[in-house]
Amino acid sequence: MAVLPSTRSRAMLALRSGLTRALAARTLAPQVYSSFATGPRQYDGTFYEFHTYCLKPSKMNEFLENAKKYMHLRTAYSELVGFWSVEFGGQMNKVFHIWKYDNFAHQTEIRKAVAKDKEWQQIIVPNLALIDEQENEITYLVPWCKLEKPAREVHVLWWNESADSRAAGRHQSHEDPRVVAAVRESVNYLVSQQNMFLIPTPFSPLK
């Protein structure tokens, strides 16, 4: 998950989202799926709320300027993991941001506090007119993954110097039979997949 100022090489992140893994072998009868997966992560209540805003095309810059100017009012309540604008992939004029919560009780507490913050509400309410669509998702880290800030400024979801370097890396990996075998096996468990290139905003914690 990451962002870079425009003065540097424009770091792009390929973010895989909208992945759903089958909970049973395909040869079995259809199963009921749950939006909350099971597994080791249930022992840790920490989760991440993904917000996706589709903005009016003429209002993208205005929204980002307002977010940059006033985001400190919102981050006083809970941790912002990262804030990006979508460069390629899917609908344009889209921003994507991630918030961390200790558990659902923590999320509820924060929402109530933010709703009572008159200064923040005076900022956020007018900004709602700049948004066409909003989508929120609750996600958890898989057991083998962790979020941490690296020694250098660019953090990784999948980090690439450019779209061309990503394409070169993919072509190279497709020549590795181990990668090909792993991909062929993994597609058996996918219902859908979407990739997006994300560019961090200047005020994003992860660069």
CB 206 within 8 A of CB 149: yes
Q: Where residue 199 falls among pLDDT bands split at 50, 70, 90?
A: confident
Q: Is pLDDT of 95 > 60?
A: yes
Task: Output the pLDDT for position 113.
Answer: 96
User: How many other CB atoms are there within 10 angstroms of residue 169's CB atom?
Assistant: 14
- Structure-model confidence comparison of residues 23 and 91, the more confident one: 91
Nearest to 200 by CA among 168, 139, 144, 157: 157
Dihedral (CA of 140, 131, 123, 66) sign: positive
Strand 79-88 to strand 94-101: parallel, antiparallel, or no bridges (unpaired)? antiparallel
38 φ, ψ (degrees, to nearest 5): -105, 160
* Closest among 157, 158, 168, 142 to 42, alpha carbons compared: 142
What is the rounded distance in angstroms from the CA atom of residue 11 to the CA atom of residue 51?
Answer: 21
> What is the value of pTM for the model shown?
0.61
Q: pLDDT tens digits for 134-193?
A: 999 888 876 666 666 655 555 446 666 776 777 788 778 878 888 888 878 877 877 766
Q: What distances in angstroms separate CA 77 from CA 8, 44, 115, one per listed residue?
A: 31, 21, 11
The Cα 61–Cα 66 span in angstroms is: 9
Two tokens, residue 85: 């604008």
Domains with residue ranges and CATH for the chain? 32-144+194-200 (3.30.70.100)
Is residue 101 pLDDT above 70, yes or no?
yes
Computed from CA positions of residues 52, 57, 62, 64, in that sequence, does the dihedral angle turn out positive or negative? positive
